[in-house]
Structure formats: structure tokens, C-alpha cells
Amino acid sequence: MKLKVGLLGGGSWGTTVASLTAKNSPTIIWARDEEIVNEINEFHTNEKYLPHAKLTPSLRASTSIKETVEDADVIVMGVPSQSLRKVLEEAKPYIRPWVPVINLAKGLELNTKKRMTEIIEEILPENPAGVLTGPNLAKEIHFGKAAAAVIAMVDHNIASRLQTVFSSGLFRVYTNDDVIGCELGGALKNIIAIATGMGDGANAGDNTRAAIITRGLSELTRLGVAMGGKKSTFAGLAGMGDLVATCSSSKSRNHHVGFQLGRGKKLEEIISEMNEVAEGVKTAKVVMELAKEYQVDMPISREIYKVLYEGNTVNDAFKGLIKYEVGSEKEPG
């Protein structure tokens, strides 16, 4: 029996995942924008977020959250992290108990510092929560480029069952039981992507990018392990894999923000010109609070925070990192 999928969120990644699951299972995607919903239903396209892409013809769209989730056997949250709580509260009355809820957003909630699965568990304590994450640039996946992802859930049996819902063609999905590590890897790497983008925008060179990526991985691993994630997770798809893809690609929203900062643009101007959310901009605030709370040193994240929120320049950031005391590459513990 095929599981029915209800996906909330009509951006590029949400639409891509809905188009993938529609190949395997009956799928409805919800979006607030009636024009997008009509376009998906009539023309099987979403030009605003996925230009020139044809969606799976069987994919249905709706402006009704109730219609999208009431019969769903799997709920997928494809909205930005700062919107997830509000949308899930709207959907809660129509979601049946024990239906798994899978998050796609890579961020942390500003006022609570919570991961997205923690919010899901708070609002829907009877529903298993998980995350689909990894080096997943939406446009590449939609156009059939090979990619791999991780579905992380505490219950391995549910994760294994959902593998068949999300896997499609050259899109391979692996399972992992480290929900904390997988979720934090996805959220924290966005800040490092802003850093590499800044370097690229300022023509700092390939050596600088490699240094930021590798030291950035060390940094996010330290915090991730301190918060309960497994060290091995950060060496896999949800950690290093996602970090490399996001830090190296011009298709990455967070790299784009950093690149434009490196070219001298103001943050407000960059954000106003984008039609999607760069999660790392807001995550940087939360990460500084978490670093202090868990007493973890995060020099790259700290310099990015200063550029985003304290008026520092890109040159200030690189000077700050150069001044940082150099120790052993070997991590303690």
C-alpha cells in the first residue's frame, strides 16, 4: 500500500521533494500563493522557484492545509525554520496521531534555540519526528543530477519505510538514527557557507575556501557533539557532505549572501533581492548563544555574526580570524 504524502511549503526544495515523492506516492503540496497552486495544477511547473522545470504530472497542489494533511500518511514540512511553528500549529487539528512528520528546513528557531524536530515533538508529541537532510541543492536534484540524502529518525523501522517514499532515480536516501547530529549539521553549515561566500566574493582564493570549510567542519562538529550529536555524523552526508556542497556552489542561497557581502553589498539589500530564505543569516544569532551556553569556541561563526549584526566588514572578519590563536589541529577528546 502506497503511503500518501502531504507537503507543506511551495519553495524550491519543498516543490522538488514533492515532485520526487509524487513519483512513488500520491502527493499533495500546500502553498499560500494561489497563483503557484494553480500553476502546479494546470501546467506542472513552479517558475518562481524552479524555472524551466517540469514537475511530476500526478503532483497535486492546494491552498488548504486541511486538504493537504488530513488523509496524509506522511507529513513533510517544507517551510522556512522561522515559519515552521506557526504552520504546524495551523495543521495540527487535521493531522492524525502517529503519522510521521519530516522536516526539510535547515535552521534553528530564534527565540527558543530549538531544532525543528524539537518543535514538532512539542506540538505533536504523538507523532514520530524526523529530518531529511544532506547535500541537496534543489535545482540540481530536480534536473536529474545524482545526489544522496539522509533521513534521520530515532525509529529505524519508520526511517526504512520512508526511504522508499523519498528515493527516486539518482536521488539515494540513507538512514541515520542521529537526529540531533543530522539536524545540527544542516543548520550550522549555513554560517560556514556565508563565510566561504564572503571569501569568494572578495577573491580570497581556493586555499582560503578550503581552510574555511575544513576549520568550519571542526567548529560545527564541536558544537554538535556538545549538544548531543555523534561525531561520526559530521563526517557523513549530513555534515561534511552538506557543508562542501553549500560552501562550493553558486546555487547555495547562503553562499550567495556571503558572496554579495564579499563584493561590498549591504545585507539588507542582498536579502531584499532574494525570493527565498538564506537560513544562515538568522541561525548565526542562535549559534552565538549556543556556543556561549555550551562553552564551545566558534571563531568563524563569531566573525560572521559580527559582519551580519555588528557592522564589521569582510576585511575585519578575515583580520579577526588571522589574529585568532593557532593551536593544534587535533581536537580535544
Residues of the binding site for NAD(+):
9-14, 138, 253
Active site residues per annotation? 189
The annotation places the binding site for sn-glycerol 3-phosphate at 106, 134, 189, 242, 252-254
Please report the sign of the dihedral spanned by the C-alpha atoms of residue 262, residue 268, residue 272, residue 278. Answer: positive
Give the residue from 332, 110, 148 showing the smallest Cα distance to 244: 148
The answer to whether the beta carbons of residues 106 and 187 sit under 8 Å apart is yes
The annotation places the binding site for NADPH at 12-13, 32, 49, 106, 138, 253, 277, 279
Q: At what angle do helices 299-309 and 179-201 cross, to 10 degrees?
A: 60
The annotation places the binding site at 9-14, 32, 49, 106, 134, 138, 189, 242, 252-254, 277, 279
Sheet (strand 147-152) strand order: 60-62, 27-30, 5-8, 74-77, 101-103, 129-133, 147-152, 171-176
Percent helix, strand and coil across the chain, each to the nearest 5: 55, 10, 35
SS3 312: coil
Instruction: Report in angstroms the alpha-carbon separations of 24 from 62, 131, 134.
Output: 19, 19, 20
Residue type, 276: E
